[in-house]
Structure 1
Amino acid sequence: MKASVRIGVLFGGPSAEHEVSCASALGVARALADAGHRVVAIGVTRTGGFRLVPDAVLAGLRSGTGAGRAIDDRLTVTGPAVELRAGQRRGTAAVAALNARGAVHAELDVVFPVLHGPYGEDGVVQGVLESLDVPYVGCGILASAVGMDKVAMKRALRAEGIPITPQVSFDAETWRTVDDPEKLVLGLRRPLFVKPARMGSSIGISRVAEGDDLAAAVEQALRHDTVVLVEQGVTGRELECGVLGGWRPVASAVGEVRVAGGWFDYQQKYFGDADPMVVPAPLPDEVTERTRELSVRAFAAISGWGLARVDFLYEEATGDLYVNELNTMPGFTAHSMYPKVWAASGVSYREVVDRLVALAFARHAERPAGVRPGTAQ
């Protein structure tokens, strides 16, 4: 995009990924400012309230590099309490004061929800933005909800013939009433990965090897959700690929995550001293192309729009490639894979966010009039 627009960057939120979102938002806000756009930063508190970040905090954004140095280099949820409501012009949103007069601070042409995890990446905030009839970056309600829910995601991938690892799922009530926990994972070989169905950034995930306590891992997952997914572990390489686009999305270069301890946990993702990511991944050309092709197919399987990062497990010994999951609002920190794989594809961080804003406008423009608020007959 070339024309300057006023972009609301939503960040923070009630989820356990609050700090990750704040770090991602700094990079996005800097890149948008570098591209000449007017940035309005709106922090979401842990209880769901909105705060308008003061202009003074944003004044120096262009002096940044386009991405925070680490997770502790981030925007902060601060400022006066505000609300989002429909703007005076159709297709805009107003940032208004929470007082009797309700003075409007800014009108937004588009919203960039840099929110990770529940309430931000699962269709909730997307529903709010749809009701305001304002363009927004990223996947819509359906794709966000399916992408966030690992159980629903696996069902969508399986329905499209996309390879996934063996897995089972169960809810908290089933777990509390089963007489033998091992009955719930019959047929799966250890190691197992026990995950909350709706959480990201490896939060609440445990690796369960032979002799490990399955019950403790399930209880850990249940702290974050009422549904648990248990997957059979794969001894292989962790690959990641970015998808960018609308009706005809394209895939990026493929990256690889190389970590100690067997898997890429929260600590290594955001607080590790060494960069574990290798971009592009050293792979046979056939594997690289298969990864990119499966990434686009997986994106289509959940009806994605805008962006996603698709994570894979690759067994070199057998040549098997499995889609592990999709992340519909991947991290944008300096430690994040999504900007790195696109940079390796010749698309800069700034160009990525600029394209995403253009895609937000494109999707909004294509919405049938009958599904827009205030247009029903």
Structure 2
Amino acid sequence: MTQRLRVGVLAGGRSAEHDVSLQSAEAVLDALPKDAYEAIPIIIDREGRWPVDLRRDLVDVVFPVLHGPFGEDGVVQGHLETLGIPYVGCGVLASAVAMDKVAMRRAFLAEGIPVTPHVWFTRHEWRTATDPESLVKSLDWPMFVKPANMGSSIGISRVTSMEELRTAVELAFGYDRVVLVEQGVDARELICGVLGDYDTPQASVPGEINVIGDWNDYESKYVNTATTVTIPAVLPDRVVEDVRELALRAYRAIGGYGLSRADFLYERDTGRLYLLEINTMPGFTARSVYAGAWAASGVAYPDLLRRLIDLALERGAR
């Protein structure tokens, strides 16, 4: 009998996305084919305490289903590399760049990838400015205020006045010392999954998030069940190809490996595409938009897990 591969499913952690991570981990643990893998849950508590001292003799590969800081930002990836343990997903640099919304946009702009107009500033710059409104004078209402390092729409606000902006900036500073302010765009929200190695990644069919309300906030993503997803998205063929091409360009811009999900804005009036962000460990339940996009592209959820684990082992062997 062939020995099963020991897969440590790493979840939880100190991030505000702790609960989302647990949902993803539960799905991965349930779906890993039992004939090939021995799934080992490793749940980090909210204070950052690990249940075990992870070692190479305990697991063969780690699936770090961690979202947000202390998990999706390169910290855990670096720890696993020092231990010599193969792991699913992007490496240290790609994870760090994709987690930081300012660094990510710099990488995109360097590669000529279109992003929405935006500004960013530190807590010190904001609080010492004689006229804080001057920091966002290049943008029009509405604006979106975001902490530079956070995911799942946590700490993000849509604002339409200076009073709302001040409140939103202080909220965002509760999560990070750097805040990004983006120009609001009347647009459809699209996603595209990427799967593969450095050299020959593949892009899924695009999907569309059918947003309830003004924007896709945390409650829309994880609480409000009325939010729906259309996969494949109903788009002109040209737009489908543009989305897939930009998703692959973004993946290469950060040095991606294993997987990512690219999020887009498709402006209603002009038909322009803007790359909103790239996620190196998107929500990972079988019902998540990433898994759904690959299912619609012919890769079922258990097969998706297999491919990601194989990619982790290939990189580890190199």
Q: State the secondary structure of the residue aligned to 1:357.
A: helix
CA distance in structure 1 between the aligned counterparts of 2:41 and 2:186, rounded to whole angstroms: 42
Cα–Cα, structure 1 residues 35 and 355, in superposed 2: closer, same or farther, change >3 Å? farther
Matched, 1:222 2:192: no
Matched, 1:108 2:59: yes
Count of matched residue positions in the alignment of Structure 1 and Structure 2:
316
Partner of 2:269: 317
CA contact (8 A) 2:73 2:96 kept: yes
Partner of 1:48: 48
Cα drift, residue 176 of structure 1: 1.2
Higher Cα radius of gyration? 1
Partner of 2:156: 205
Q: State the secondary structure of the residue aligned to 1:83.
A: coil
CA contact (8 A) 1:270 1:335 kept: no
Partner of 1:295: 247
CA distance in structure 1 between the aligned counterparts of 2:300 and 2:37, rounded to whole angstroms: 16
- Matching residue's letter, 1:265: D
Cα–Cα, structure 1 residues 281 and 4, in superposed 2: closer, same or farther, change >3 Å? same
Partner of 2:76: 125
Deviations 1:130-183 (A, max 9, x none): 000111000000000000000000000000000000111111111110112111
CA distance in structure 2 between the aligned counterparts of 1:159 and 1:345, rounded to whole angstroms: 30
Deviations 1:229-251 (A, max 9, x none): 00001111000000000021000
Matched, 1:192 2:162: no
Q: State the secondary structure of the residue aligned to 2:32.
A: helix
Cα–Cα, structure 1 residues 158 and 179, in superposed 2: closer, same or farther, change >3 Å? same
Deviations 1:96-138 (A, max 9, x none): xxxxxxxxxxx21100000000000000000100000111000
CA distance in structure 1 between the aligned counterparts of 2:214 and 2:35, rounded to whole angstroms: 39
CA contact (8 A) 1:10 1:113 kept: yes
CA distance in structure 2 between the aligned counterparts of 1:334 and 1:262, rounded to whole angstroms: 26
The one of 283, 287, 294 equivalent to 1:342 is 294
- Matching residue's letter, 2:175: H
CA contact (8 A) 1:35 1:350 kept: no
Alignment of 1:218-297 (within 5 A): 218-246=169-197, 247-297=199-249
CA distance in structure 2 between the aligned counterparts of 1:282 and 1:34, rounded to whole angstroms: 37
CA distance in structure 1 between the aligned counterparts of 2:129 and 2:268, rounded to whole angstroms: 37
CA distance in structure 1 between the aligned counterparts of 2:116 and 2:248, rounded to whole angstroms: 19
TM-score between both structures, scaled by the size of structure 1 = 0.82
Q: State the secondary structure of the residue aligned to 1:84.
A: coil
Cα–Cα, structure 1 residues 129 and 340, in superposed 2: closer, same or farther, change >3 Å? same
Q: State the secondary structure of the residue aligned to 1:173.
A: helix
CA distance in structure 2 between the aligned counterparts of 1:237 and 1:301, rounded to whole angstroms: 24
Partner of 2:103: 152
Give me the CA root mean square deviation.
1.3
Partner of 2:54: 84
Partner of 1:102: none
CA distance in structure 2 between the aligned counterparts of 1:339 and 1:35, rounded to whole angstroms: 22
Q: Structure 1: 5+ residue runs without aligned partners?
A: 52-81, 86-92, 95-106, 367-377
Partner of 2:112: 161
Deviations 1:242-285 (A, max 9, x none): 00000210000111011122110000101112242111111001
Cα drift, residue 14 of structure 1: 0.3
Alignment of 1:351-370 (within 5 A): 351-366=303-318
TM-score between both structures, scaled by the size of structure 2 = 0.97
Cα drift, residue 316 of structure 1: 3.0
Q: State the secondary structure of the residue aligned to 1:125.
A: helix
Partner of 1:135: 86
CA distance in structure 2 between the aligned counterparts of 1:35 and 1:325, rounded to whole angstroms: 37
CA distance in structure 2 between the aligned counterparts of 1:35 and 1:165, rounded to whole angstroms: 47
Deviations 1:177-196 (A, max 9, x none): 01121111111111100000
Q: State the secondary structure of the residue aligned to 1:47.
A: coil
CA contact (8 A) 1:240 1:254 kept: yes
- Name segments (4+ residues, structure 1) moved above 6 Å: none
CA distance in structure 2 between the aligned counterparts of 1:142 and 1:48, rounded to whole angstroms: 22
Residue identity (%): 58
CA distance in structure 2 between the aligned counterparts of 1:123 and 1:333, rounded to whole angstroms: 22
Cα–Cα, structure 1 residues 35 and 151, in superposed 2: closer, same or farther, change >3 Å? farther
Cα–Cα, structure 1 residues 328 and 146, in superposed 2: closer, same or farther, change >3 Å? same
Q: State the secondary structure of the residue aligned to 1:353.
A: helix
